[in-house]
Amino acid sequence: RGGNGREKLMQGLLAVRGGECWLSAQAQSQRARCPATNALLCINVVVYVLQLLTQGWLLNAGAKVNSMIVRGQYYRLLTPMFLHGGLVHLLCNCLSLNAVGPMVEMLFGTERMVFTYVLAGLGGNLFSFRFSQAMSVGASGAIFGLVGALGVYLLRHRELYGERSDRMLTAIMQTCLLNLCIGLIPGMRIDNWGHLGGAVAGAAVGDLFGPN
């Protein structure tokens, strides 16, 4: 969300403290069992190619534009999560999705992971629509939702994972807070409301429908 690639902070998600990459490595070793993550990565790339082929028409037709949503184009609350503002934006979000997606899919299952991703993307766009007038695209709201759901899972299963859970929860909070703080810097084209809404929606889905 935001085309200048600041989301690259997310690509080190859950692995910023060395020892916490244990779960990431476990998930990455089971890539064949993560069809949803692989499919979403492919969809993001294919849609971006279509954006280039249509010379921006697809981007303008699907971006979150408040005035268009008010006029009844409610699909714009869903389509922005599959659109990106540039190649760097796309790469950063794909790296982030590749980092956290397999973990959530492995723990939640494919159907619940997709459900969480879509609802988090919708929640992020609803927050952005309510609190921000800027045009917005990007998958990072949905990705923040996966992070929120994973955070709830780790919190719920602290006894199972012990100190690892606490360290990963700390890493999640630090990464998200840093990203949100950077979004407050003047001139940064980052939709913090979309990130926040996605994280809240993902956490809610994780709490209500996540594995227990």
Catalytic residues: 140, 195
Residue 19's CB: how many other CB atoms inside 10 A?
A: 11
Q: CA-CA distance, 123 to 195, in Å (whole number)?
A: 9
Paired tokens of 186:
């003047």
In terms of Cα–Cα distance, which of 12, 11, 83 is closest to 45? Answer: 83
Beta bridge partners of 136: 64
Read off the DSSP letter of residue 31. G
Contact by Cβ (8 Å): 177, 23: no
Q: Catalogue the E-assigned strands of 45-187.
A: none
In angstroms, the Cα distances linking 81 to 36, 42, 78, 126 are 15, 13, 6, 12
